[in-house]
Structures are given as structure tokens and as C-alpha cells.
Structure 1
Amino acid sequence: MASSSDLLVATLVANPLQPAVTDDIVALAARALGQETERSVLARGIAADLVLTAPADARAVDAALREALQDQPIDIVVQPLNHRRKRLFLADMDSTMIEQECIDELADYVGLKAEVSEITERAMRGEIAFEPALRERVALLKDLPVGVVDEIIASRITLTPGGRALVRTMRANGAYTCLVSGGFTLFTGPVAAKIGFHEHRSNHLIVAGERLAGQVEEPILGREAKLATLVELRDRFGLAPQETMAVGDGANDLAMLGEAGLGVAFRAKPAVAAAAHARIDHADLSALLYVQGYGEADLRTNELR
């Protein structure tokens, strides 16, 4: 077997609610690679590793597996075996760590959800610039009582499955975690605390007399600020680029995803999924643990360090 620095690992991951990574599927995938592999079950029916025993081209491996498993609800991540376990993790919030877009839920309170959602969708697809799109949407929220935020968090915001296990398992194994969002601190603070992130960074809504002023503090945290956060934290902890991981779903995540050692597009817009190092379309966020080589017994949901 060649040195681990030269080898690739292909991880097959399914949603825990639809455990499709059967022994037969793993065997089919191994045959499709046309070379010897070392197989390892990470979670029965949910995740398995195929470590190639000779150097290979990652794109060719990915293409071969997708051709073999094209009808299966299984995600495929091919990466170098070396440094697959990450020490820094950055995550987007809306439609990534939570299942909603917070600004759309705020807009629903003033009867403008359809209008605001359309702007959000266009911005996330990269059709319009993020910063002016955010200012436009925030302006529509003027005079909304700030207390509405707590109500929305309690009644409408749901955590994406697997997110708590992802963050807390990485923390338990020494990684630093940061929630970095183009959204607002009124949401990222409570969400980061629920999930277990070390810190959160996002935009500040201006409040006047317990109501939203329809403005956001400048400068706006968007695409370049997310990238800068990754670089800053990586340098602070003295990490190599390949020791970092980031996840997101929108166009304003692309720079961050591109800079990370492993940039993961999670149920992302097509342009984002095409550009990222890896994509997760079927599995939940626990997939990001399996692609690092964690097994089912390693997952934690409550313990923090």
C-alpha cells in the first residue's frame, strides 16, 4: 500500500432516515473503482469508506462512483486520505445549520415573505449582489418589533438534523467551530448556543425604540467577510489550509468554501454545488463527520469542551 499522503478515500453517505449504504452497494462501488480498496463501515447502512490502495485521480474516482451509483440516494465525497480530520470548522447558518432563512421569516410578519424570499433566492443563486440585496430586504422590515425575533426562534426555526452532533463531536476532538452568517446576530447568537459553536459572526440590525430601524450596520458581513474569517481563524490557530472545513449553500459562501481544505455545498444552489470541493444532497449534517472518518460510535450531541 502506498503512503497515505498519496492515497484517496471515497466516502459513501446516506441519510439516516434512508439507510441505503448496504453491503451490496459498497461492493458495487468497490468494483467500479477497478482497483483494490480497503473497506470500512462507519455507520451500518449510513456511511462507509473505500480507501484506494494505489494513487488515483480524484475526479476520475468521483465520476466512476457516480456512474455506478447514479440511481441511489447516496452522497459521494472523494478526498485525500491525509488530513481528512479537520481542526477548524466554519458554517453558514440559514438553510445550512438551520432549515429556514431568518430574514424570510421576519418578512412573513409584515406580509412580505413572498417578495423578500424572491430577493433572497436570487442573492443565494448569485444573480444579484448580496450586500445591496440585504439592505433592500432589511429596509422592508422597518418598524417590526424586535421582540418578534424571540417568537420566531421559538416557533419557526428548526435545527438541521445532524448539526449538533457535527459541532459537538468536532469540539470534543479539539476542533474550533464558528458560525459565520450573512444573517443577523439576533439569530446567530441563540442558534450558535443551541448547536454548540465556539463563536458566531454575522450582521447587526439597527434597533430604535425596540423596533427595527430598517437598516443594518456597515460593513455588511458577506462573501469576503466569510473568507476573511476563515483565513483569520486559520492563522490564529496556526493551521494548514487542508486542516480546515467549511459548509454552506449560497453564492456568498463560495469564497469561503473555495479556501477551506474541504468546502462542502450542503443541499446547495446548483452553481454552488458545482463549484465546491464536495456536495451533500441526500444526507444530513452528520455526513460531515463521516467524511472525516468518524464512526457512528464517535458521534456526540451533548458534551462540550
Structure 2
Amino acid sequence: MLVATLVSAHGQALVGEALLARLARTVPGTVRTAVLDGAVAADLFAEAADARKLEADIGAELDGAAIDIIVQPAATRRKALFLADMDSTMIGQECIDELAAYVGLKELVAGITERAMRGEIAFEPALRERVALLKGVPLSVVDEIIRDRITLTPGGRELVRTMRANGGYTALVSGGFTVFTGPISAAIGFDEHRSNVLLADGGILRGEVAAPIVGMQAKLDALVELRTRFGLAPEATMAVGDGANDLAMLGEAGLGVAFRAKPAVAVAAGARLNRADLTALLYAQGYTGSEIVRA
């Protein structure tokens, strides 16, 4: 049995009774539907073997409505371990680009970031190249950037806090920097954070990052390590990210979700979120609106 969770775009309520009734009639294999949160989110259960086909069948009936669809085995939908990327996933910005803006190099650094996240260039040398451009930046600007330029992605706090309230473990695993992941993970409510260390002397960046670099392999290793620590089956894990350095982590997770992701990542991931906020990852686990811990 597969379950397809339909979630409206952020701030909208598009999954109404009429739509569910039509899907129940027209989508092959449908057994039943269930409302999760008014017209915001609902489930469709189907006797089907191909998740991508079920997603396509439902999508064809939506007439372009701004609704995301997450399909997975119904029996293992509830997750006990959640790993998340930070930049452009749990927050709306790329922190290294915001640091570069301080020295007037945002456009240059953002271009390198975009290519790395698309998988066009290797992550680690691209990170070292960008960090070198930050030499001389005072670390004191980080607090200002977090205060004035960083925005938390809607639904992120609710996602993390609801999972933790129900016994789940949550980790922010980023190719970014500890000076950002520390305060941001605390603001969202993660159990832990892992990321890269910017080297500095007297509070001034040296233009270097400590080894080893937290990149694609480190994100994958974090998932496997935490899964093993808690004795979890692979299907009890979930990960979300947007860039090429998230691909291995997303592929290893029981549910790997591409969030407003680069094209190659969206194609490779098990599920895609392009319109809904991060509470969609609670609905996908079967949580109802009344069970969400509101921030």
C-alpha cells in the first residue's frame, strides 16, 4: 500500500472535498482518502507498486493546482530520525553569499555557490575558493547577518519540534559554517548541528576552512552514524536538502526530499517539495493539523 500525501502551497487551502472525491474516482488503485488538515493537506491510499507512477497519475488530475505530492509506503511513513540541510532549505539564504556581500563580492560568490549546488563543479574546491575570498572579514558581522538577513523557512520550527515531541531525533547537517549552524539550529530547535569551521585569527577570517570539510560524504556519514546509534531501520529516516552535496544523504534516507531543489536533485530524490512549506514533511508522516507543535 502506498500513501500519497497532498499538501497545498504555503498559505493556501487547495485540497478540498471535491478534489479528493474526484481523485478517488479517477486515480487507479485508490482505496481511500483521509483529511489531515482541513483543505490544506490530505492522504490518498492506493494499491500500487510504482510511487513515481502514482505521483504522475495524481499530478495529471490536479490541473496545475499548486499542490505538492509525496508518495511512499504507508506502513513506514512515520520517521524517527530527521537530517536537514541548512542553506536554502531550513533558511532562505546561502550564508556564505551573505558573508561575501559584506566585502562586495556577493555576485561572484553566489555564482560559484549556484554552480556547486547544481553539481557543475565539485563542492570541496568550490568551498575553499569561496572561503578564500572572505579573508579579512571580521567574525563579528555574523551576528548582524543572522539578525538582519537570515529568514527561517516557514514550517521548519513546527517540523523539528513536532518530531522531537514524538521521540524523533533531529540534526542540522550543513556544508556551511558552525558560526551560523549553532544559532540557527538553536532557533529552530534541532538536537544537534554539524558543519564546517571557519578559521580566524583575532576574530578576523583567515580565508581558510578547517579540514575535513563537511560535504556530500560527511552528510551521508552523519545519516548512517545516527541511524546506527539509535538502532533504526533505513526506512525510519528522513532527509531534506536542495543541492548536489545533499544527493547521497537523500538517497540513503528512507524518505529523501528535494526542497525547492536544483533540477538534478529534484529528479534524483524520492520526493519533491516545490510549493508547500516544511510542515508538509509532518503531513507526509501522517501527522494531522491538530498534532503539530506550533512555534
TM-score (norm 2): 0.98
Amino acid of the structure 2 residue aligned with 1:204? V
Q: Provide the C-alpha distance between the structure 1 equivalents of 2:65 and 2:2, rounded to a whole number of angstroms.
A: 22
> What is the rounded CA distance, in whole Å, between the counterparts of 1:37 and 1:62 in structure 2?
15
Match of 2:39 among 35, 42, 45: 45
Contact 2:5 2:41 in 1 (8 A): yes
- Match of residue 11 from structure 2: 17
Write out per-residue CA displacement over residues 58-93 of structure 1, whole angstroms, 9 at most, x where no aligned residue: 222112111111411000111100110000000000
Counterpart-to-counterpart distance in 2, 1:59 and 1:140: 42
**Which runs of structure 2 are paired with 1:141-156 in the superposition (5 Å)?**
141-156=134-149
SS of corresponding position for 2:211? coil
Change (3 A) 1:55 1:121: closer
- The 5 Å alignment of 1:174-213 reads 174-213=167-206
Match of 1:4 in 2: none
Q: Secondary structure at the match of 1:271?
A: helix
Which of 65, 68, 73 is matched with 1:72 structurally?
65
Q: Which residue of 2 aligns with 1:131?
A: 124
Counterpart AA for 2:259: F
Q: Is the 8 A contact 2:48 2:54 kept in 1?
A: no
Deviation at 1:16, TM superposition (A): 3.8
Could you tell me how far apart the structure 1 residues matched to 2:85 and 2:33 are? Answer: 32
SS in structure 1 at match of 2:158? helix
| Correspondence 1:246 to 2:239 | yes
2:20 to 26, 45, 68: 26
| Unpaired runs of at least 5, structure 1 | 1-6
What code does the residue aligned with 1:23 have?
Answer: E
| 1:115 to 1:36, Cα distance in 2 relative to 1, 3 A | closer
Mapping for residues 253-268 of structure 1, pairs under 5 Å: 253-268=246-261
Deviation at 1:55, TM superposition (A): 4.2
1:128-166 Cα offsets, whole Å, 9 max, x none, are: 000000000000000101000000001111100000000
For residue 45 of structure 1, report the CA deviation from its aligned partner. 1.6
Q: Which amino acid aligns with 1:41?
A: V
Residue identity matched to 2:18: D
* Identity between Structure 1 and Structure 2 (%): 66
Would you say the 8 A contact 2:247–2:265 is kept in 1? yes
CA distance in 2, matches of 1:272, 1:300: 29
Q: Which amino acid aligns with 1:26?
A: L
Deviation of residue 32 (structure 1)?
2.7
The RMSD of aligned alpha carbons is: 1.0
Three-state SS of the structure 2 residue aligned to 1:82 is: helix
Pairing 1:289–2:286 present: no
User: Which amino acid in 2 is paired with 1:27?
Assistant: A
Letter in 2 for 1:49: D
Q: In the aligned structure 2, how far is the partner of 1:144 from the partner of 1:261?
A: 40
CA deviations on 1:188-214 (whole Å, 9 max, x unpaired) are: 000000000000000000011111110
